[in-house]
Amino acid sequence: MRILFLGDIVGKPGRHGVRDLLPEWKTRYAPDVVIANGENAAGGVGITPDIANELFRYGIEIITLGNHVWGKKEIYPALESDPRLLRPANYAPGVPGKGWGMFQVLDKPLAVMALAGRVFMEPADCPFRVFDALRPEIETPFLFVDFHGEATSEKMAFSLHVDGRASAVIGTHTHTQTADERILPGGTAFLSDVGMCGPYDSVIGMDPDIIVPRFLTQLPSKFEVAKSDPVVCGVLLDLDRQTGRALSIERLQHRP
Ligand SMILES: [Fe+2]
Ligand SMILES: [Fe+2]
């Protein structure tokens, strides 16, 4: 089973980067399913139903979300009704949406789970223990986890904690692709961060003319998505069709 996962899609440049490049990547890599993190798709913060549908039209089939999931309130009902939208599983009980879902890919059930880290992030329940609690319910060896976190150490520790119990743990949130892809001894593919689909000349997707002065002055300012051409970052995973163990992991990055 071949999975293509795209990192955080940031604003219009990120959406258009996916629109323009995904058909080519689909032809070249022939993924069986395309998943993307869409937490920054609407103006850099959150996602709306219209924008989620736009991403589905471009060929994305499942959208994971991260700490910006609550950025646009219009998405709340869709988080409940659309099984293709997943917010972090380790948020408080009773909040809108769900943290994992089951999808038919080829003739196999693929589970996809989103989790949020807790290091240098907003408070959330323990992603390690939430994974442990949920894993027995998920009756498939094919499990893709988007671990949305700031700290490399937390993502790496998590991947070792779940090695052999997930097919892949791929990090998101930093918007910067790391070069540490590997397959762990138990068969879990890991990458600390897949990177973003968003404006290349930017500070992790945001306008440098706003962000650089913000660092210099520490005055509050409203973030705006930068307007440059996009970088598109992803990862290609091959899973054994019987065991769900990762056979290969390859980073993809297309710069303008
Ligand atoms: Fe993000
Ligand atoms: Fe994030």
Q: How many CB atoms lie within 10 A of CB 152?
A: 15
Q: Which residues surround ligand 2, an ion (CB under 5 A)?
A: 66-67, 173
Q: Which ligand is nearest to the CA of 149?
A: 2
Q: Do 21 and 232 contact (CB within 8 A), yes or no?
A: yes
pLDDT number for residue 230:
98
User: Catalytic site residues?
Assistant: 68
pLDDT number for residue 143:
99
Please tell me the total count of domains within the chain.
1
Alpha helices, H only, the chain: 11-29, 49-57, 76-81, 127-134, 152-161, 208-217
CA-wise closest residue to 208 among 226, 187, 235? 226
> What's the average pLDDT block by block, 10 residues per block, for the chain (256 residues)?
98 98 98 98 98 98 98 98 98 97 97 98 98 98 98 98 99 98 98 98 98 96 96 98 98 98
Q: Which ligand is nearest to the CA of 44?
A: 1
Rama region for 94: left / alpha / beta (φ>0; ψ in -120 to 50; rest):
left
pTM, 2 dp: 0.98
**What's the CATH number where 19 sits?**
3.60.21.10
How remote is the CA of residue 7 from the centroid of ligand 1, in Å? 8
Q: Which ligand is nearest to the CA of 121?
A: 2
How remote is the CA of residue 150 from the centroid of ligand 2, in Å? 8
Domain extent, residue 13, equals 2-254
